[in-house]
């Protein structure tokens, strides 16, 4: 036996894989963004700020260098102490710049290097203070110390700042390379993630298409088997009806006819004076005749001999008076067009749809009258049964096997059954059967 698995497990698995991939990618992206933010804030931004402060320090050192040159210039008539106020201003600005640079110096710079710049700066100003003190007593010695010692210390400071600037530039290049690498990895990961999602969606779509095709194929096979089963059941039903009809007509009909004839002969041979017996025989004859009429009507309903002998149109006309007599519902019959010679296997289905539609009128519509219309055309035969009753929607009963039977018979002749609600109320049952298909069965 073939097992049919539900696609729910596969779809839930695909959904779980997709959500897991999204969660992993989201977590990885968050980590990448945090790393990029940290690189931006702790490396690139601090590095640029530090570079700006180093340039400020370098500018102050250039001014210090110019002031030192002016101090040792022999053409200057001023004593060394005259430059003390200028160096005081430069000292304030330089120490502020050094202090700020220490705050914004990149984390990657060792602490020893930070302390080295501060120590050089402190040593320079300490040496300058001693020179200014010495200049008050020995101008010539002080100028010599400025030329020998102080200029060397300033040059060392300038070299150190220049080296720090170079290191900052290298660090900034490395940070820019890391940033480009992060962006490249992020772009690559986006493409990989989109490709993975597309593959999952493609796999899910193909799985659904494959499953739907299998489902539609099974539904089509089941529908074909159901149609074949319905065809066989209806064929068996019609054969049974035909057999019972012939048995009723041939066996029971003949027996009842013989009983009636015997009763007639008995009544004829009975003395006229025996009126009581004559009356009883007449009553029995009426019962036999009534039973014979019912048997013939039942035989006609099960399998109309008129349909086989004269065709669909005479059979329809013969059925309507019987229905009126049995139910008391007035039937107006309308026929248009030339009736084609239909195959018996097709005509019987049209006839059965009429019977079932009239039975529904009698059972459910609460109508006192109905109209039967038949239109014959070269393309199709259209049968309509319309009543002025309560309609299908107002009926408290659910559609029963009668409607199912009518639909099955319509499908067997490749026809179309419609249940319509006319504006004037009631229900209109319309059966349309293509004539071309009818002729193909003939």
The C-alpha atoms of residue 95 and residue 125 are separated, in whole angstroms, by 10
DSSP class per residue in 254-295: HHHHHHHHHHHHHHHHS-TT-HHHHHHHHHHHHHHHHHHHHH
The C-alpha atoms of residue 253 and residue 235 are separated, in whole angstroms, by 25
- CATH code for the domain defined by 304-441: 3.30.565.10
Q: What is the pLDDT of residues 50-83, one digit of tens each?
A: 888 888 888 988 888 888 888 777 666 778 788 8
Q: Which residues of the chain have pLDDT under 50?
A: 1-3, 437-442
Is residue 334 within 8 A of residue 374, CB to CB? The reply is yes
List every span in the chain annotated with CATH 1.20.120: 8-208
Three-state DSSP state, 162: helix
Q: What is the pLDDT of residues 357-399, one digit of tens each?
A: 888 888 888 888 899 999 988 888 899 998 888 877 655 555 5
What is the reported pLDDT for 398? 52
The C-alpha atoms of residue 421 and residue 433 are separated, in whole angstroms, by 21
Does the 8-208 domain belong in CATH 1.10.3470?
A: no
pTM reported for the whole predicted model: 0.49
Shortest CA distance to 347 belongs to which of 310, 385, 301, 393?
310
List every span in the chain annotated with CATH 3.30.565.10: 304-441
- Token representation of residue 222: 């089941």
What is the reported pLDDT for 439? 46
- For residue 359, the tally of other CB atoms under 10 A from its CB is 13
């Amino acid at each position: 036996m073939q097992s049919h698995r539900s696609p729910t497990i596969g779809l839930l698995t695909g959904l779980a894989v997709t959500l897991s991939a999204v969660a992993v990618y989201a977590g990885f992206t968050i980590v990448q963004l945090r790393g990029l933010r940290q690189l931006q804030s702790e490396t690139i931004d601090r590095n640029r700020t530090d570079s700006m402060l180093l340039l400020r320090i370098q500018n102050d050192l250039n001014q210090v260098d110019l002031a030192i040159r002016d101090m040792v210039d022999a053409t200057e008539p001023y004593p060394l102490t005259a430059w003390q106020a200028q160096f005081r201003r430069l000292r304030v600005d330089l120490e502020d710049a050094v202090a700020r640079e220490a705050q914004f110096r990149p984390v990657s710079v060792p602490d020893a290097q930070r302390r080295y710049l501060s120590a050089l700066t402190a040593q320079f100003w300490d040496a300058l203070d001693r020179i200014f003190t010495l200049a008050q007593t020995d101008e010539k010695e002080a100028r010599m110390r400025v030329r020998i010692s102080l200029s060397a210390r300033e040059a060392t400071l300038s070299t150190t700042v220049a080296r720090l600037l170079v290191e900052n530039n290298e660090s900034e290049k490395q940070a820019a390379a890391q940033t480009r690498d992060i962006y490249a990895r992020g772009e690559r990961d986006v493409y990989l993630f989109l490709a993975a999602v597309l593959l999952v969606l493609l796999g899910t779509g193909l799985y659904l298409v494959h499953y739907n095709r299998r489902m539609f194929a099974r539904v089509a096979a089941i529908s074909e088997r159901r149609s074949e089963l319905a065809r066989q059941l209806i064929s068996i039903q019609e054969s049974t009806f035909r057999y019972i009809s012939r048995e009723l007509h041939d066996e029971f009909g003949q027996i009842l006819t013989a009983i009636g004839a015997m009763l007639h002969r008995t009544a004829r041979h009975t003395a006229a004076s025996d009126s009581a017996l004559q009356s009883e025989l007449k009553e029995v004859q009426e019962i036999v005749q009534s039973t014979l009429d019912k048997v013939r009507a039942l035989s006609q309903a099960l399998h109309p001999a008129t349909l086989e002998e004269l065709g669909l149109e005479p059979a329809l006309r013969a059925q309507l008076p019987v229905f009126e007599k049995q139910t008391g519902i007035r039937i107006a019959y309308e026929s248009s067009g030339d009736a084609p010679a239909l195959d018996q296997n097709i005509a019987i289905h049209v006839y059965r749809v009429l019977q079932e539609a009239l039975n529904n009128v009698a059972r459910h519509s609460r109508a006192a009258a109905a109209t039967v219309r038949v239109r014959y055309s070269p393309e199709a035969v259209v049968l309509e049964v319309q009543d002025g009753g309560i309609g299908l929607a107002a009926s408290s009963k659910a559609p029963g096997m009668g409607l199912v039977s009518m639909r099955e018979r319509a499908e067997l002749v490749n026809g179309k059954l419609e249940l319509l609600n006319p504006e004037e109320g009631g229900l209109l049952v319309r059966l349309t059967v293509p004539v071309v298909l009818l002729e193909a069965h003939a």
